[in-house]
Amino acid sequence: MTGRWQIDRSLRNLYRASSVVKQMDSHQAAALHIRVFIVSNVRLHREGLAALLRECPSIEVLGTNSMRETQNALPTMATDVALVDALSPNVSEFVRELRRICAGMRIVAVGVRETATDVLACAAAGIDGYVPMDAALTEMVTAIENVVRGELACSPKVAASLYQSIGLSRRVIAGPSPLTMRELQVADLINRGCPTKEIAWRLGVQPCTAKNHVRNILHKLQVRRRGQAVAKLRTLIGERFCAG
C-alpha cells in the first residue's frame, strides 16, 4: 500500500505542474517530437499519466497498457520511449524482454527512489533514465527528452554516490572472486537489513533470484551468514559501507 500511496502522491504533483507544461515555448516543442508508450499494471496510473503528457507539445502518447499486453502491442509501433512503472513486479525481467523486442527504444522508469542503490539497479536492469517518486510533470518531460538525447539527469547527491560507488566497487571487483554490480546492490540492501523478499521487490526480480544472489555473495566472500558478509565488505571497502 505504501508504494501505491507514493504513486498517488506523484500523480498529485504531476497535476499541479500540468499548467506549466501547457505554457512551454513553441520553438522547443517544434525541436522535439517524441513518441511515448506508457506501461503500468494500474490502469488509473497509466491513463492519468497519458492525459497529462498529451498536454505537452513535444510528446505524442501512442498508448498505454499493462506489462503483459505491452509485449504484444509495442512491436507494431514506432515507439521512442517506454515509460515503465518502477513499482510493478518483475520489472527487470520485463525490461529485458522489451530490449529483446524493441532494441532501439529508450526506457524510463517512473517512481524510482532517488538513492544510489535504486538508480544503480535501474542501470543494471537496462533502463536508460528514471523519474523520481516526488517528481513534477516538468521533470518527467525533461527525463524523457534527456534519454532521447542520450543524457541522464540526477541530483548532485545521487551523482556523488554513483561516483563513489564506482570506486568502491572496483576494490571488491578486483578480488579473486569478484562481485558483480548486481551482487553489490544486493549486498548493500543486506547491509540495510532488507530480507530476501524486500530485496527482490526493490530490484524487481523474483525472490528465488534474490536468494541466488545472496548465496553467491556468501560463497564468493567465503562466509556462511549475511552478517559475516556485511562485516567482511566493511573491512574490504571501509567506512563508506556503513549501516543504513
CATH code of the domain containing 231: 1.10.10.10
Pair 37, 108 in one domain: yes
Pair 117, 206 in one domain: no
Pair 165, 147 in one domain: no
What pLDDT is attached to residue 115?
A: 78
Q: Does residue 115 fall inside a structural domain?
A: yes
Pair 80, 181 in one domain: no
Pair 16, 102 in one domain: yes
**Total domains in the fold of the chain:** 2
Pair 143, 224 in one domain: no
What pLDDT is attached to residue 235?
A: 67
Pair 31, 63 in one domain: yes
Pair 62, 27 in one domain: yes
Q: Does residue 33 fall inside a structural domain?
A: yes
What pLDDT is attached to residue 101?
A: 84
Phi, psi of 104 (to 5 degrees): -90, -5
Q: Does residue 243 fall inside a structural domain?
A: no
CA distances from 212 to 150, 156, 205 (A): 33, 33, 11
Is pTM beyond 0.75? Reply is no
Residue in 149, 158, 88 with CA at minimum distance from that of residue 123:
158
What pLDDT is attached to residue 240?
A: 46
What pLDDT is attached to residue 166?
A: 60
Q: Does residue 164 fall inside a structural domain?
A: yes
Pair 232, 208 in one domain: yes
Residue in 89, 29, 86, 77 with CA at minimum distance from that of residue 53:
29
Q: Domain ends where: 119, 153, 187?
A: 153
Pair 24, 101 in one domain: yes
Q: Does residue 244 fall inside a structural domain?
A: no
Q: Does residue 144 fall inside a structural domain?
A: yes
99, 125 Cβ separation under 8 angstroms: no
Q: What is the dihedral sign for C-alpha 152, 155, 159, 164?
A: negative
What pLDDT is attached to residue 237?
A: 56
What residues make up the domain containing 61?
2-153
Q: Does residue 242 fall inside a structural domain?
A: no
Q: Domain ends where: 92, 125, 153?
A: 153
Q: Domain ends where: 120, 153, 186?
A: 153
Pair 111, 128 in one domain: yes
Pair 194, 136 in one domain: no
Question: What is the per-residue pLDDT across 106-141, written as a single tens digit (0 to 9) for each?
Answer: 999 999 988 777 787 787 778 899 999 999 999 999
Residue matched to cell numbers 566493511: 234
Listed as ranges, residues in the chain with pLDDT below 70 are 1-31, 161-177, 181, 235-244
CATH code of the domain containing 45: 3.40.50.2300
Cell of 239: 567506512
200, 207 Cβ separation under 8 angstroms: yes
